Amino acid sequence: MFDVDGTLVDSTYHHAVAWQRAFDRHELHFPLWRIHRTVGMGGDKLVGEVAGDEVEERLGDDLREAWKQEYAELEAEVDPLPGSRDLVRALAADGWQVALASSGEPEFAEKALDSLGVRDDVSVLTTAADVEASKPDPDLLQVTLEKLGVSRAVMVGDTPYDVQAAARAGLACVTLRSGGFGEAELTDAGAVLVVGTPADLLDLDWEQHLRPVDRS
């Protein structure tokens, strides 16, 4: 299972800018670094994490709509990360089932899938629309595993929220620094491996990181 933003496509900072502009629309001004630290959560959690519960209750839906509009303006600038296309295609060619599990909106995940050119190599795509609670809750991963119907799996992500969601789903998480989090942060969160970009995973022995899927 792959996360999408910051893992397969280089969109983390575009999302941070889009969120900053969304907050600015409502005269809520936060430094970009603070917003970046929350990218990887779904929008259901990000607003409250950055601005507090009162803002979430009062403006959460408006802010999420503004973010979607702002990110749509930036999306054309987002490129695949080095090696992401080759990695997904190689895994599918070797007989692995590949799934994408994104806390983002379906329309953006679909466009990322098309930009990667791997639609025929991906067995399952799940997004925020498939669950009520986003990462670091495990719901998205659990739904993805149910759709896959596999007995073993591993998560690949780029944030501590991916690692936490994987752990709560009983999985190991291989991580990338391409989301802007440091190796120590990812390791401290429980990542079993930290590398730079998807290109660094092309020769990985995936068997050593697979964990049984809990069907209870």
Please report, for the chain, the start and end positions of each structural domain, with discontinuous segments joined by +.
12-77, 84-212
Which two tokens mark 202? 């092309």
| 3-state secondary structure at position 102 | coil
Range 145-154 average pLDDT: 96
Task: Tell me the β-bridge partners of 80.
Answer: 9
Give the model's pLDDT for residue 216: 61
Q: How confident is the model at residue 214 (pLDDT cuts 50, 70, 90)?
A: confident
Which two tokens mark 117? 């050119």
Q: Is the peptide bond before 136 cis (omega within 30 degrees of 0)?
A: yes
Which two tokens mark 208? 């050593």
Which two tokens mark 140? 């998205």
pLDDT at 110 over 90: yes
Q: Would you give the DSSP letter of residue 81?
A: P
Distance of CA 90 to the CA centre of its chain: 20
Q: How confident is the model at residue 61 (pLDDT cuts 50, 70, 90)?
A: very high
Range 49-65 average pLDDT: 97
Our CA angle for 74, 80, 202, nearest 5°, is 160
pLDDT at 104 over 90: no
Query: Over the stretch 199-208, which tens digit does the pLDDT of each residue have?
Result: 999 999 999 9
Q: Exposed e or buried b for every residue in 62-91, given b needs 16+ CB within 10 A?
A: ebbebbbebbeeebeebebbebbbebbbbb
Range 25-41 average pLDDT: 97
Give the model's pLDDT for residue 186: 98
Query: Over the stretch 162-200, which tens digit does the pLDDT of each residue have?
Result: 999 999 999 999 999 999 999 999 999 999 999 999 999
Please state which CATH class domain 84-212 belongs to: alpha beta
